[in-house]
């Protein structure tokens, strides 16, 4: 049997794209996954281009792969960097056999046999393509509900790599999730660049269904016990959506609300479509209707023109919302984006100082939140066997929980009591 080595960088959408590629390749001929590069017949790097660093790393990585791969093994570059660099990847690294964009995943079985094939069309509509089935975790399913992105945030390369937003028809989604439930998944993660913009445009039908209606439809699936989604956009968090989030018992109480900046002036420069006050108001609404919810966020520091005052606004939102999880980044100028052309690019040292300050304060908040979990009861879905006689899973609110145990706990949703806390995870015993 041929062996496949696949490295996945970036976001959950890329993780799902990798699963789709594995499934499609396997329908053509069986592949065994390997973590040993030198054994692989096919090497795929599923790339991310959201920041500059991983793009720079790509070419040194291709060099390493070329050196250690077995003779005749093929190298494919897929994902967002493939979309935005296209044939230049092969020009710069001729050892790459094919390039497949993030919007062209279904063509993996075509390009794999075509020397120097490049498929990167961002208008390609894959929204009704029936991908083969493969799940890296049998207990959970990831499902794309839309492809592409219709926003034009001035810092973000994604609209250029993944194209315009198209929603996948809700009946297809219900079918796909029902199938996953029948084969052991009790939890689904709905994926999209802006999930709560679902239904704005469908590829082929006259369908009318918004995200709140989709959540209601999906929660009717028998045997499905948990629904998660990522990422919603603060701009589309209307009251009906927050109400559904808070009151639907199948929806896990964890929500990602990407802030990017706390400064209304910078949010305008970023073309985010909301103000500092709108953002805080939406988080307050979530906390008031659903006090047990955890809120996570993404923040960029050092966006062009960011003043001390702007940064103070970001720190202020952190104090007010007290995000349970923070993903924070130094601004990185990207090709095909407006902000890369902005005059007032911020000095790297200053961005670094701001990032450190933001992360340090968030760590303090996180420690307080995690310490407060001691003795609490959480409902956890255990889905991973660890090596040291332990099993891990996620609490309803997304916290990582470990417990002593073995296979019999896998696939179980049980109440546990927290006996030890740390910054990243909780230790528990059965109640």
Judged by CB under 6 A, the residue of 40, 55, 58, 80 near ligand SF4 is 80
Return the residue matching tokens 């509509």.
125
Q: Which stretch binds ligand 5AD (CB under 6 A): 30-38, 182-190, 327-335, 416-424?
A: 327-335
Q: Which stretch binds ligand 5AD (CB under 6 A): 61-69, 114-122, 330-338, 405-413?
A: 330-338
CA distance 389 to 19: 28
Residue 48 binds ligand SF4 (CB under 6 A): yes
Cross-strand bridge partners of residue 140: 187
Residue 329 binds ligand 5AD (CB under 6 A): yes
The closest of 57, 71, 391, 13 to 190, measured between CA atoms, is: 13
Given a contact cutoff of 8 angstroms between Cβ atoms, the answer to whether 97 and 138 are in contact is: no
Residue 334 binds ligand 5AD (CB under 6 A): yes
Q: Which stretch binds ligand 5AD (CB under 6 A): 102-110, 177-185, 328-336, 369-377?
A: 328-336
**Number of alpha carbons in the 13 Å side-chain half-sphere of residue 190:** 32
Cross-strand bridge partners of residue 141: 188
User: Least separation, in Å, of the C-beta of 11 and ligand SF4?
Assistant: 3
Strands (E) in 82-231, as ranges, are: 98-101, 117-119, 140-144, 146-147, 166-167, 187-191, 226-230
Judged by CB under 6 A, the residue of 50, 153, 318, 395 near ligand SF4 is 50
Containing 255, the helix (H) or strand (E) segment is: strand 254-256
Q: Which does 13 bind (CB under 5 to 8 A by kind): ligand SF4, ligand 5AD, none?
A: ligand SF4
Q: What crossing angle do the helices spanning 308-321 and 276-289 adopt, rounded to 10°? A: 10
Residue number closest to ligand 5AD, CB atom:
298
Judged by CB under 6 A, the residue of 158, 181, 214, 242 near ligand SF4 is 158
Q: Which does 81 bind (CB under 5 to 8 A by kind): ligand SF4, ligand 5AD, none?
A: none
User: Least separation, in Å, of the C-beta of 274 and ligand 5AD?
Assistant: 14
Q: Which stretch binds ligand SF4 (CB under 6 A): 44-52, 105-113, 183-191, 221-229?
A: 44-52
Q: Is 39 exposed, middle or buried (0-12, 13-18, 19+ CB in 10 A)?
A: middle
Which CB atom, from 162 or from 276, has the smaller least distance to ligand SF4?
A: 162
Which CB atom, from 54 or from 398, has the smaller least distance to ligand 5AD?
A: 54
Return the residue matching tokens 């209307």.
238
Residue 50 binds ligand 5AD (CB under 6 A): yes
Tokens of 298: 């993404």
Residue 139 binds ligand 5AD (CB under 6 A): no
CA distance 146 to 153: 18
Residue 332 binds ligand 5AD (CB under 6 A): yes
**Which residues between 140 and 159 bind ligand 5AD (CB under 6 A)?**
155-156
CA distance 410 to 392: 9
Kindly give, in sequence order, each residue whose CB lies less than 8 Å from that of residue 190, ignoring residues fewer than 6 positions away: 143, 145, 214, 218, 227, 228, 229, 230
Which CB atom, from 40 or from 50, has the smaller least distance to ligand 5AD?
A: 50
User: Least separation, in Å, of the C-beta of 233 and ligand 5AD?
Assistant: 10
Q: Which does 188 bind (CB under 5 to 8 A by kind): ligand SF4, ligand 5AD, none?
A: none
Q: How far apart are the first and last CA of the chain?
A: 46
372: number of Cβ within 10 Å? 11
User: Least separation, in Å, of the C-beta of 282 and ligand 5AD?
Assistant: 16
Residues that bind ligand SF4 (CB under 6 A): 10-11, 13-14, 48-50, 79-80, 102, 158, 161-162
Residues that bind ligand 5AD (CB under 6 A): 50-51, 155-156, 258, 260, 298, 300, 329, 331-332, 334
């Amino acid at each position: 049997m041929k062996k496949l080595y696949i490295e996945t960088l970036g976001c959950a959408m890329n993780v799902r794209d990798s699963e789709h590629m594995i499934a499609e390749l396997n329908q053509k001929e069986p592949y065994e996954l390997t973590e040993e590069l030198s054994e692989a017949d096919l090497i795929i790097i599923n790339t991310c281009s959201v920041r500059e660093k991983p793009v720079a790393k790509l070419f040194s990585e291709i060099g390493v792969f070329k050196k250690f791969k077995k003779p005749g093994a093929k190298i494919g570059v897929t994902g967002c960097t493939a979309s935005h660099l296209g044939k230049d990847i092969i020009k710069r690294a001729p050892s790459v056999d094919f390039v497949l964009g993030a919007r062209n995943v279904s063509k993996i079985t075509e390009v794999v046999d075509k020397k120097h094939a490049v498929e990167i069309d961002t208008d390609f509509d894959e929204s009704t393509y029936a991908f083969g089935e493969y799940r890296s975790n049998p207990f959970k399913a990831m499902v794309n509900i839309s492809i592409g992105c219709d926003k034009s945030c001035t810092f973000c390369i994604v609209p250029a790599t993944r194209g315009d937003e198209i929603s996948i028809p809700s009946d297809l989604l219900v079918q796909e999730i029902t199938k996953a439930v029948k084969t052991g998944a009790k939890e689904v993660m709905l994926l999209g660049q802006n999930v709560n913009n679902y239904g704005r445009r469908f590829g082929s039908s006259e369908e009318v269904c918004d995200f709140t209606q989709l959540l209601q439809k999906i929660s009717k699936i028998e045997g499905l016990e948990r629904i998660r989604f990522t990422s919603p956009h603060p701009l589309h968090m209307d009251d009906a959506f927050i109400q559904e989030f808070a009151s639907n018992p199948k929806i896990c109480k964890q929500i990602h609300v990407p802030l990017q900046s706390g400064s209304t002036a910078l949010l305008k420069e970023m073309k985010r479509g909301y103000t500092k006050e709108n953002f805080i108001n939406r988080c307050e609404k979530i906390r008031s209707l659903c006090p047990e919810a955890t809120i996570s966020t993404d923040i960029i520091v050092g966006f062009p023109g960011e003043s001390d005052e702007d940064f103070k606004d970001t720190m202020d939102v952190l104090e007010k919302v007290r995000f349970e999880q923070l993903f924070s980044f130094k601004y990185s100028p990207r090709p095909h984006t407006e902000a890369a052309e902005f005059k007032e690019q911020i000095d790297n040292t200053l961005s670094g100082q701001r990032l450190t300050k933001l992360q340090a304060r968030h760590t303090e908040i996180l420690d307080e939140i995690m310490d407060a979990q001691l003795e609490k009861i959480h409902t956890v879905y255990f889905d991973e066997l660890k090596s040291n006689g332990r099993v891990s899973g996620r609490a309803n609110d997304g916290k990582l929980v470990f417990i002593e145990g073995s296979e019999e706990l896998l696939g179980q949703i049980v109440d546990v009591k927290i006996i030890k806390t740390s910054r990243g995870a909780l230790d528990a015993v059965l109640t």
